[in-house]
Amino acid sequence: MDSGQSIYIAEANPDGGSVLVFVPTEAGQYEGQLTTTAPDLQITGINNPAHLAIGPNRQLFVVVRGTLQLAEPNAGVFVYAVGATGNAAPIRVIRGPDTGLSAPYGIAVDGDGRTFVSNGDSVRVFLPGASGNVFPDEIVSHFEISNAGGLAVR
């Protein structure tokens, strides 16, 4: 939920996926609006979306699990501008072998803009504004973490 009380939902499917947004109406109900979708994966990159986070500047962060069966996974984090709609392109993407994102799932963004992504047996932390094939600033791991899912930061 963002500061305007809109609710964002990741909808994964075999053909790609989408992110839906439901905005509050004056009657106190929610009205659905499609915000970003993936008819053309080359443009939007939303292929098998998982969790979402709203960053400090109200940008939308989407964990894209991609096609996990590939020899080199195409998973990553896609960041969309505030109010992006339709077949919107991300304003930046964190993806590539240096990121170590092979099985991302959960995401959280702190007040400084650091991005935390659960990834199997660890949580990878990326600096504010990170983009491209970048190494995480930090990797949080522990012998008890084997399949990290959702996470939250404050």
Q: What is the CATH number of the domain that holds 89?
A: 2.40.10.500
**Which residue segment(s) compose the domain that 115 sits in?**
40-141
Q: What is the pLDDT of residue 70?
A: 59
Is 58 inside a domain boundary?
A: yes
**pTM for this predicted structure:** 0.81
* Cβ–Cβ under 8 Å, residues 80 and 62: yes
Burial class (CB in 10 A: 0-12, 13-18, 19+), 121: middle
pLDDT at 145: 78
- The Cα–Cα gap between 87 and 89 comes to 7
Residue 83 included in any domain: yes
Total count of domains within the chain: 1
Distance CA 119, CA 124 (A): 7
Q: What pLDDT does 2 receive?
A: 60
On whether residue 49 sits in a domain, the answer given is: yes
Q: Which pLDDT value is given to residue 42?
A: 45
Walk along the chain (154 residues) and give the pLDDT tens digit of each residue. 566 666 776 767 655 666 666 666 666 666 555 555 554 444 456 777 788 888 888 888 988 887 766 555 678 999 988 777 777 788 999 999 999 998 898 999 999 999 999 998 889 999 999 999 999 999 988 887 777 777 877 7
The reply to whether 112 falls in a domain is: yes
Q: Tell me what pLDDT residue 41 has.
A: 46
Residue 60 resides in a domain: yes
pLDDT recorded at residue 132: 94
Residue 90 lies in a domain: yes
Residue in 118, 135, 151 with CA at minimum distance from that of residue 126: 135
Contact at 8 Å (CB) between 100 and 139?
yes
- Flag whether 18 is in a domain: no
Question: Can you give the pLDDT at residue 40?
Answer: 45
Q: Is 95 domain-assigned?
A: yes
